[in-house]
């Protein structure tokens, strides 16, 4: 009964995203789904059952997502990305299956350890699929809200010009900026790394001016060195400029949105998020990196989940053998 209720909740949250509704497209809903997955898997351990209904549901979600974005199969780079993504998922399914097979050994310690590792593998796979759903949804959302501030997060540059990935972020910001009926400021946030010829913010400012944005509408933040300081220094600019609550949207690459929202949240910034296109040749790498980055931001939750699932697995193994 509990497993079914949790599965229904997960579907209620995820299904709108699959069909391009943004009601649940936020950090809170993502974390609630992650917690629901954790609770479902713990319940499965306690009842000594495999969560087939949830596993099959996520397979169906994955198939629907692939069908919805079937245009990816028509390009070499995106087709290679899909191939790598499926290979990555297959390996986790294989590891989980192998560990569940090992858990049939009668030794309680071996059984408990293999069950625990299998649950962790399954947890990673299911929550990663959720992360992918949110990532894709942030990329394809149609954003037409009125905002006071658009924050564009920087990305590494190699010359005095923006890279294609950074240009994609700026183009997405331009789309939002051009839809605004009232005066809206754009904060370009990015410092200068040791191998960068100029600050990222300066390259971003030049790009926006070249695409028709008035220089007075661009605010430069050129001291940050990472996403956290992007928001830390941007918040100082906002506080100096406004003495009221402001509506803010952050534009960054699609894989980066959830982590950006979490870091902004930790600094007390209430912001919305919009994602831009990411080149497919390194999409999987940065997707995994930022997925782990988001989960690390909730390390207390992970610690509680890993420790409790370990003890429950061990207890279940001893009870099964007794």
Each residue's pLDDT tens digit, 91-109: 999 999 999 999 888 888 9
pLDDT reported for residue 1: 74
pLDDT reported for residue 322: 62
Does position 318 have pLDDT exceeding 90, yes or no? no
CATH numbers and ranges of domains, the chain: 2-141+286-321 (no CATH), 149-246 (3.40.50.620)
d(CA 207, CA 203): 6
Mean pLDDT along residues 269-280: 95
pLDDT tens per residue, range 163-194: 999 999 999 999 999 999 888 999 999 999 88
Mean pLDDT along residues 21-47: 95
d(CA 28, CA 18): 17
What Rg do the C-alpha atoms of the chain give, in angstroms?
22
Q: How far apart are the first and last CA of the chain?
A: 27
- Spatial CA neighbour of 38 closest among 303, 226, 319: 303
pLDDT tens per residue, range 189-211: 999 988 899 999 999 999 999 99
Q: What is the DSSP letter of 251?
A: E
The two structure tokens encoding residue 93: 């399914």
Alpha carbon 165 to its chain centroid, in Å, reads 17
Query: What average pLDDT does the chain have?
Result: 94
d(CA 254, CA 287): 9
pLDDT tens per residue, range 214-257: 999 999 999 999 999 999 999 999 999 988 889 999 999 999 99
């Amino acid at each position: 009964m509990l497993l079914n209720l949790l599965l229904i909740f997960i579907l209620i949250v995820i299904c709108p995203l699959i069909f391009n509704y943004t009601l649940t497209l936020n950090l809170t809903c993502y974390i609630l789904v992650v917690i629901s997955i954790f609770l479902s898997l713990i319940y499965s351990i306690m009842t000594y059952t495999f969560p087939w209904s949830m596993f099959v549901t996520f397979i169906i979600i994955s198939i629907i997502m692939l069908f919805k974005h079937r245009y990816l199969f028509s390009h070499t780079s995106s087709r290679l990305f899909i191939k790598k993504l499926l290979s990555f998922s297959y390996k986790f399914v294989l590891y989980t299956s192998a560990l569940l097979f090992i858990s049939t050994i009668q030794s309680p310690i071996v059984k408990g350890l293999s069950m625990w590792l299998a649950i962790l593998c399954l947890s990673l796979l299911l929550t990663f699929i959720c992360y992918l759903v949110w990532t894709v949804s942030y990329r394809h959302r149609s954003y037409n809200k009125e905002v006071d501030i658009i924050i564009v997060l920087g990305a590494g540059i190699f010359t005095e010009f923006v890279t294609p990935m950074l240009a994609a972020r700026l183009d997405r910001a331009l789309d939002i900026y051009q839809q605004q009926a009232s005066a809206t400021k754009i904060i370009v946030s990015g410092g200068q790394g040791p191998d960068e010829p100029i600050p990222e913010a300066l390259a971003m400012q030049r790009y926006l001016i070249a695409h028709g944005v008035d220089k007075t509408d661009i605010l430069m933040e050129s001291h940050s060195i990472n996403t956290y300081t992007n928001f830390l220094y941007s918040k100082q600019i906002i506080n100096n400029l406004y003495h009221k609550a402001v509506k803010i949207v952050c534009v960054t690459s699609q894989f980066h949105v959830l982590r950006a929202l979490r870091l902004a949240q930790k600094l007390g910034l209430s912001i919305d998020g919009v994602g831009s296109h990411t080149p497919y040749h390194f999409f999987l790498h940065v997707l995994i990196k930022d997925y782990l980055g988001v989960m690390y931001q909730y390390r207390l939750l992970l610690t509680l989940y890993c420790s409790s699932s370990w003890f429950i697995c061990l207890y279940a193994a001893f009870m099964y053998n007794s």
